[in-house]
């Protein structure tokens, strides 16, 4: 049955960190009447049938006929209310993924949306669109757009255009600085589409990040961890990481510069918009408090020159997530070299995500 198949697809890709980090990504199954979309707060790797929200496709389709406010935040709230209203009876306590509208645009039975690191090497690169067209002439490219209704509307227009022009059903869509959508009518078709796409990435990516762990001065690292904890909230956990790539970035603020802007919404949601680079370990306390005064939040990622990376979380689990998500940004910055160089998020988009209620909901849920 369809729901079992989408559970399998979700488990397979959700359990693989090359596809899914920190509960990101979502999947759906549809028939003529209903869309079953992953609920917010569930994890693809472990999702069960009741983790999907059953929606009325007829009510979702009505959203495209409605007129909404011109003012963005008002409009997004109105659309969200209509999306909540499209839930079927018995689903009242669930929250459908913010990407629900996008899933419903594809005619195929199964949709998988993920943010694979290698794919984001392309979507976060300067050559992104052109190189995608060479690699996947059948795919659709969507330039960086505010998520929610605005993004769904743009995707809807592009998918319609594509289908009119080619007479084919769109099944592969790349979102700049975000991720990818795969659509298929069976699990086999999904697997072969994903492995075809990922195989092309493996061929195209010529520079790999050096992730070999390096040895370090333990007492120095411990004293820095203590200094960070002393100015952090109670219960905070600090995770230290040092590998070839981190060492190269920590060598100088010039090397680190490339990571001073986030690559995708995930990086902002879990690690905040900006990391902190500390030139002198002795100044760490002042640097941390100044950073908080300037930015209005505590740094989640702290690089100390010549030492390595410190990820700060509200607990150990959260510190691991922060560290994994930031390592994802580091890998993306290396993969992007195979696609003409890194293209971080646009500053106005960074502000939009940082203030977006939906994303703050996602990060809160991920802490559970």
| CB of 48 vs Zn ion, minimal distance in Å | 21
Closer CB to Zn ion, 116 or 179, in the complex: 179
Residue 178 or 239 with smaller CB distance to Zn ion: 178
Closest contact distance (angstroms) between CB of 97 and Zn ion is 9
CA angle 104, 176, 367 (to 5 degrees): 75
**Residue 258, Cβ neighbours under 10 Å: how many?**
16
Q: Cα(368)–Cα(362) distance, rounded to whole angstroms?
A: 11
173-181, 198-206, 220-228, 229-237 -> range binding Zn ion (CB under 5 A): 173-181
Closest distance of CB 234 from Zn ion, Å: 33
Query: CA geometry: angle at 367 spanning 148 and 221, to 5°?
Result: 120
Joined together, the tokens standing for residue 234 give 């109670």
Nearer residue to Zn ion within complex by CB, 108 or 120: 120
CA pair distance 173, 158, nearest whole angstrom: 10
Determine the residue with CB nearest Zn ion.
179
Q: For the CB of residue 21, give the shortest distance to Zn ion in the complex, in Å.
A: 11
| Phi, psi dihedral angles at 48 (to 5 degrees) | -120, 175
Cα–Cα dist 165/182, whole Å = 20
Neighbouring residues of 57: CB distance < 8 A, sequence distance ≥ 6: 30, 32, 33, 34, 35, 104
Size of the site for Zn ion (CB under 5 A): 1
Segment near Zn ion (CB under 5 A), from 165-173, 175-183, 208-216, 321-329? 175-183
Pairing state of beta strands 179-184 and 34-38? unpaired
Which is closer to Zn ion, CB of 44 or CB of 227? 44
Q: How far is the CB of 10 from Zn ion (least distance, A)?
A: 14
Shortest distance in whole angstroms from residue 116 CB to Zn ion: 11
User: Could you say which residues in the range 336-365 bind Zn ion, by CB under 5 A?
Assistant: none
Q: How far is the CB of 307 from Zn ion (least distance, A)?
A: 33
Cβ-based neighbours of 184, under 8 Å, separated by 6 or more: 108, 109, 110, 171, 190, 193
Smaller CB separation from Zn ion, 106 or 237: 106
CB 220 within 8 A of CB 307: yes
Of 177-196, binders to Zn ion (CB under 5 A) are 179
Residues found in the chain? 368
Closer residue to Zn ion in complex, CB, 264/287: 264
What minimum distance in Å lies between the beta carbon of 107 and Zn ion? 20
Q: What does the per-residue mask of binding to Zn ion show for 66-105, with x meaning CB under 5 A?
A: ----------------------------------------
Residues 6+ apart with CB under 8 A from 258: 333, 342
Antiparallel, parallel or unpaired: β 172-175 and 140-142: parallel
Q: Which is nearer to Zn ion, 96 or 308 (CB)?
A: 96
Site for Zn ion, rule CB under 5 A: 179
């Amino acid at each position: 049955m369809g729901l079992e198949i989408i559970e399998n697809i979700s488990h397979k890709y959700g359990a693989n960190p090359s596809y899914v980090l920190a509960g990101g990504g979502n999947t759906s199954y549809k028939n003529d009447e209903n869309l079953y979309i992953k609920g917010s707060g569930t994890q693809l790797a472990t999702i069960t049938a009741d983790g999907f929200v059953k929606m009325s496709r007829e009510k979702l389709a009505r959203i495209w006929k409605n007129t909404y406010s011109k003012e963005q935040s008002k409009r997004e709230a109105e659309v969200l209310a209509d999306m909540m209203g499209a839930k079927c009876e018995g689903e009242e306590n669930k929250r459908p993924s913010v990407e629900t509208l996008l899933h419903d645009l594809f005619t195929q039975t199964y949709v998988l949306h993920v943010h694979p690191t290698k794919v984001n090497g392309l979507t976060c690169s300067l050559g992104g669109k052109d190189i995608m067209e060479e690699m996947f002439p059948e795919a659709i490219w969507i330039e960086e757009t505010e998520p929610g209704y605005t993004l769904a509307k743009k995707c809807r227009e592009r998918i319609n255009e594509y289908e009119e022009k080619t007479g084919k059903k769109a099944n592969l869509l790349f979102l700049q600085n975000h991720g990818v959508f795969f659509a298929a009518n069976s699990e086999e078709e999904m697997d072969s589409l994903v492995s075809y796409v990922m195989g092309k990435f493996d061929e195209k990516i010529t520079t790999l990040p050096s992730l070999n762990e390096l040895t370090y001065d333990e007492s120095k690292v411990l004293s820095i961890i203590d200094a960070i904890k002393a100015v952090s909230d109670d219960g905070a956990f600090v995770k230290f990481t040092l590998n070839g790539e981190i060492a190269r970035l920590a060598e100088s603020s010039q090397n680190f510069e490339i990571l001073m802007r986030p690559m995708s919404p995930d990086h902002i949601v879990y690690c905040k918009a900006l990391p902190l680079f500390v030139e002198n370990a002795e100044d760490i306390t002042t640097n941390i408090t100044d950073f908080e005064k300037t930015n209005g939040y505590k740094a989640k990622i702290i690089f100390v020159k010549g030492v390595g990376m410190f990820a700060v979380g509200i607990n150990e689990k959260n510190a691991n997530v922060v560290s994994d998500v930031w390592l994802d940004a580091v890998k993306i910055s290396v993969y992007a070299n195979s696609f003409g160089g890194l293209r971080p998020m646009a500053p106005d988009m960074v502000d939009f995500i940082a203030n977006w209620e939906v994303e703050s909901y996602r990060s809160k849920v991920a802490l559970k």
